[in-house]
Every structure is written in C-alpha cells, then in structure tokens.
Structure 1
Amino acid sequence: MATSYNASSQTNVIHGIFTFDRVQNKILGTLDASQFGGAFPDHISISASGKYAIPSWAYNKTLGTRAYPLDFSSFRQLHTMSEHSDLALGPNGEDYYVVTDYDSGYIRAVDVATGNSFDLMTMYPAVGSSYAAHVSGKAFGRPGWVLISTYADSGNYGASSPDTTLRPMIRKIMLVELKPGGRQFSVAHTRASSNYGGYYGEHQATISRDGTRVMFATNFNDGGVPSSYVIGLPSWIYN
C-alpha cells in the first residue's frame, strides 16, 4: 500500500496499491485509490503462490475482501467483510482464503482462483453458543493444512461468557485439513476463557512453514500477562 499521514487532520491517506517483483526490481501493477473510493484497507497481503494481491477493507461490504491478479486488471470478491482470516495452500497447491465467516456461521475456505468455497468448522456449535477464532495458514511446506485458535466463547446468545458448556472446539488450538470433511486434530487446550487478557491476550496461534512447530500465547486464565508456548508436532500426523 502506498500511504501517507496527514498530521493536520491526524488521518492516514491511501494513494494506491501496487505489486513489486523483488527479483526483477520492477513494479508489476498499480491500482489507484480512486478505483476503490479512497477507502483505507484494513490490511493487504499476497497469496502463497504469489499470483494474487488480496486487500481487505473493514466495515465496507461493497469492497470487503478481494483478490486481484498482479496487474490489477480484474478482481474476484472473496468475502463481503474483513474478518479474522489467513491465506493458505490447498493440498494440490491451490490458493485458499480461510475466513471466520460469522454471516454463514462457519470457518470457511475459499478457492481464490475460482471463488468456490466449503465449510471447515461451525462457529455456532449449539443454539445460542459461539466463539471467536484466528487462522494461521503459514504451513506452506505442508500444503492442505490450516491452524485454528479459538477464544472468547459464550453461551445463551452472549449472556453467559464464557460458555457454561465446555464444547470440543472452544479454547483450543486445532489443526484442520483443507478439504471438505477433512480431518481435525486437537493440538492443545489454551485453558483461558474470561481472563484471557482481552484484545492483546488473544491466543493467535501460528504454525511454522514445515508444519512441525506451533506457537501460541495464553495466561491459562489467571488474568496475568500471556506467555508464549511452542508445541512440536510429529510428522506422522500428516500421513
């Protein structure tokens, strides 16, 4: 993103988006901010294959999350919102956008090239029950897998926080296979619910490129500052 800061108005200004080839040392494509109304993106990234630029606009259902080819000649709408999400590689090298889609009620994987999608996990495991989640798709050396960390669960339509029923997918770090009906492995319990540390205490697990290490944060619900933990995963889990 090409941006600047206006000190007098104390606002960030976006001038446009561009793609840059580090090897050839040249700009491949540009998209002037006038083409998207000057709305400041929440974040922007590039797909694992390097084929798509993917900006995401928060609280803007017209723009939402889009995938552009590197020359910005067109776009594909991936989502109408800007939710917790990440980019990952599918089992056959497909670019996937994995998103916590509260509208559909599922953690959903979207094929960036086609727009086709499938559900991975429900976010509403029982009537009136829900949770929040973060996604890590950075195991590019292990295509076809994504890491999900869940937190901030509630029941009775938000009246009970945390949920009074400890459901299988809440307060967990989970390894999920990127295919319809794929396997789901429980990696760890975070053990943190109402006192997990607020916004800066969200577990936000991340996985290493080769899929052998998982790092996450938790305070084990003691109300203190979260610490970071690393888990080693056995290679046979992917067989």
Structure 2
Amino acid sequence: MDRSKHWHVAALLGAVACLATAGCGGGGSDTPATPPAPAVTPSPPAAAPPASAPPSAPASALTPACANFYTTAFTLSGTRTTDPIATLAKPAKGAAFAEPAYGTCVVRSTDHAADGVAGFTRNDYSRRQAFNATGTHYLAYALNGSWHLYETATRQRVKVLPGPGGDAEPQWHATDGDKLYYLPTNGVGMKVNELTVSTGATRVVGDLGARLKARWPAAAVAWTKSEGAPSRDQRYWCFMVEDVNFGTLGVATWDRDTDSLVGTMNTNGDRPDHVSMSPSGDWCVVSGDGARGTVAYSRDFSQQRKLLAKSEHSDIAIGANGDDLYVSVDYQSAQGDLFMINLRTGERTALLPTYLAGTTNALHISGKGYDKPGWVIVSVYAGFIPAGGSRQWMHDKVFAMELKASPRTFNLAFHRSLYNEYWTEPHATVSRDFTKVLFNSNWNTGSKDDVDAYMVELPADAVK
C-alpha cells in the first residue's frame, strides 16, 4: 500500500527536532512549521453540563447501546479548556461508556483479536465514509488488506467483503445501503465495480481502460490514490491516471450516469498527492506539493482555481449555504491555521489556530457529514509540547467544528491512541447525518497494530 504521503515517525521526529532548535523552514507535507509566540485561543461560553436524571432524549439514530444514554437536557461541551484525559480500561466490543470529560456515549466497535484478525481492524481514513447510506452498517479495514462489514446496531461483524482488497477505495452508494463501489487494488485495471453487499454479486459499472488508453497509450491505473471521493450523489468521479509503474500521466473526470469521460488533463510529470471530486460534482481538486500545488479544476478542466502551494491533511465539505469548501491546515501560516477556501468564490477564511502556547500537532478532517452542511469533524494527534509547555485544549481529541469565521467547536471524545506510526492515527470519520463518528485507537498501549475502531454516538439534534 502506498502510504508515503502520510505523517510517519521520521517526519514526526524531524518536526520535533527542528522545532526544538527553531531550525524549521516551511516543513514537508503534514509537518508543522516552527510556531510563533504562544497564541491565545478564545473560549466560547461554557455549555451546560450533561443532566444525570430522566427523561431520556429521543433515541433517534442511536443504537441500543446508547438509546437510553442521553437525557433531554444534554448539550455538547463547547469549552476550549485543557480537560483531563481520564484513564479508562479498554472496553469490550459493544460496551457503551461515558467520555468522562464530555458525557458523550462512546462504544468500542471492532475487536480484531476476537474476530481472528492478526493486527488491526480500523476505520480506513478520515476522508472515507465508513457508514452506508442508511447508517445500518459500517466498514473497517484490516492489516491483511481485507475489508470487513459490521452491523451498526450490534457491532457484530457480518462478513469479510468479497472483491475489494487493499487500496480498493470502497465508496458506499449515496442512497442504497446495500451497495458500494470499489476499484481494483491501487486502481490497476481502470475499472469501477459495484458490489451488492448482501449477496456478494459484483458488476462493472465503468470500464475506462480503452478510453484512457486512447488518451494516454501507457495508461494502466485509474484511482484517487486512496484519499479521494466521488461527488455527494456519486455521479462524478475524478481519477489520477498512471502507467504500470505508477508514473503520472493525467487526470480524468468520469460521469457514472452516462458512463462517459467529461474531461481530461495532462499532468506533465507532476504527480498529485491525491485527487478528489467536490461534493457538488462541480470541481476536481488535484492536491499536490509540486509545481502545480493544489488546484480546483472544473470537471471538464476548462477552468481552474489555485488553492494553495502545498497539500496537507484536508477534506472537501459542504458549507451551510451549499457551497463546496476545501478545509485544511496551513502549517506554514503564523498560527498553523485551520482554514477553508470556498471553491466557488476563492475566498479563504481562517477558522482556528493550531499553534497553541508553542505546541504543534497533526490532525485530520472529515467533511463526510453531508446531511449536516456547515460542519466537519477534526481528530488531533501526535502533539509536540516544548520543554516547560503543556497539552492544549484540542490535543488528543475528536471534536466537531463549524465552518464559519470564529467557529463554534464541540468536544466529542479523547481518542486515547498513543502515536506509533501511521496506523495508530485516529482518522475520525463522520456519518452523513452527523450522529456517529468512528475513530481509531490503540487505547494507550503504544502498539503499532493493536488498533480497533470506536464510535461516538450523538442525538440527532446535538449539533445545530
């Protein structure tokens, strides 16, 4: 699997070393630059503490484990204080517990050892939608490259999916909870497959090989490099096109509904980090660190908008007004800003500083809560704390962030994953209706692969 684009131990240690000596320049992808003087983060008004007495809140989309957990008086915590991370024993799969700092319902949702899987069973990535359209099932990825289907209500593993293997980029169907799309591993073969999950039947819905070879005779691969997504309705897909050695050739947009190529573009040797369609289907965002940088192209590549010079951890979300928003972190900015860029207007808005009191951290963003426009999930890990410094409010945490200037933030849970290479990153992802957040954790063991997925469940009206 090609995971070289992610934050690894070497990059983390390099960041720590250069920060300690004030010797960082811009830093590489995912590597925070030297922080300036301590930044002051405003604290929103404190939220009311969770009530501890009946009546219970409406069950809504909550599973049985959390159905009677919340009261009608429950509100999410919006404070930005450095709260203690309670030491908790690793829970059994399916057991609900209250996050002590915030009163949210958290449930361990995979157990790789009990399922006989050597190594982790975890959420694949923050940009990957783990939950199907109806919220009844979710996907987990195993160390051996297999994809596992779980029932949300019980956390029981239903099956190992036939078909997808390794970087197959599974994408749940937008409306049919029993179907998903997947690619051949690493995109080799240039096909898009549709899997009926209940039966295991697979059919090819897009065979792009001949058409891409007509454009680029050496074409052998079509994928997003495992980090992109189709449009919200899954009509439009943007693919990197590469040769048999994964040498870059171009980028192409495919229309699923008409099975046609909408547009193509040469990359001229500048290989993107990844590509993704925006939720509206209007833009193909080509993310990279080379001469091109990160650029949003209209789906036929006739127009373009330069977003930034680098590719950092990001996602493309839907704004409160329906616009496509590129949400990312700028480690080269003075305060390490979380920011967003409106793809329609080009307007950039600073959201939150991440360089707090001389500290830095790494983070991921999930904009997959399409039915709750104007919000994303942020998961923060691998913090650097200078000598004499201390942990800050966002460190080691999963929280919801509003997409507006001076945004509200809601604390969801501490992930309790001690960073030890890529697979221990929390990679929190959110369901379309914003009621479930799946994140990964080695639960304070420090293990590289003893990792499972945990789920925060929220009442339907908790984020509003």
TM-score clears 0.5: yes
Q: 2:419 aligns with which of 196, 200, 203?
A: 196
Aligned residues: 221
Determine helix, strand or coil for the equivalent of 2:270: coil
Determine helix, strand or coil for the equivalent of 1:236: coil
State the AA in 2 paired with 1:219: N
- What is the CA distance between 1:40 and its match in structure 2? 1.2
Q: Give the alignment of 1:158-197 within 5 angstroms.
A: 165-192=390-417, 195-197=418-420
1:103 and 2:332 aligned: yes
- What is the CA distance between 1:66 and its match in structure 2? 0.5
Higher strand share: 1
1:196 touches 1:222 (CA, 8 Å); kept in 2?
no
Deviations 1:122-157 (A, max 9, x none): 11011x21111001000011100000000011122x
Q: 2:375 aligns with which of 138, 145, 150?
A: 145
Q: 2:344 aligns with which of 82, 105, 113?
A: 113
1:76 touches 1:115 (CA, 8 Å); kept in 2?
yes
Deviations 1:3-62 (A, max 9, x none): 1123xxxxx2122111111111211111023xxx3111110000000000011113x2x3
RMSD: 1.4
Determine helix, strand or coil for the equivalent of 2:423: helix
Match of 2:305 in 1: 76
1:39 and 2:270 aligned: yes
Superposed structure 1 runs of 4+ greater than 3 Å apart: none
Match of 1:2 in 2: 241
Structure 1 residues not aligned, in runs of 5+: 7-11
Structure 2 residues not aligned, in runs of 5+: 1-239
State the AA in 2 paired with 1:185: F
State the AA in 2 paired with 1:5: V
Match of 1:67 in 2: 296
Determine helix, strand or coil for the equivalent of 2:461: helix
Determine helix, strand or coil for the equivalent of 1:131: strand
- What is the CA distance between 1:197 and its match in structure 2? 2.6
Which protein, 1 or 2, shows the higher relative CO under an 8 Å CA cutoff with sep ≥ 6?
2
Q: 2:446 aligns with which of 215, 218, 223?
A: 223
Match of 1:9 in 2: none
Q: Partners of 1:115 and 1:172 in 2: how far apart?
A: 30
- What is the CA distance between 1:164 and its match in structure 2? 5.1
2:352 touches 2:406 (CA, 8 Å); kept in 1?
no
Deviations 1:138-195 (A, max 9, x none): 0011100000000011122xxx5xx951211100001001111121000001123xx3
Determine helix, strand or coil for the equivalent of 1:214: strand
Match of 2:359 in 1: 129
Determine helix, strand or coil for the equivalent of 2:444: coil
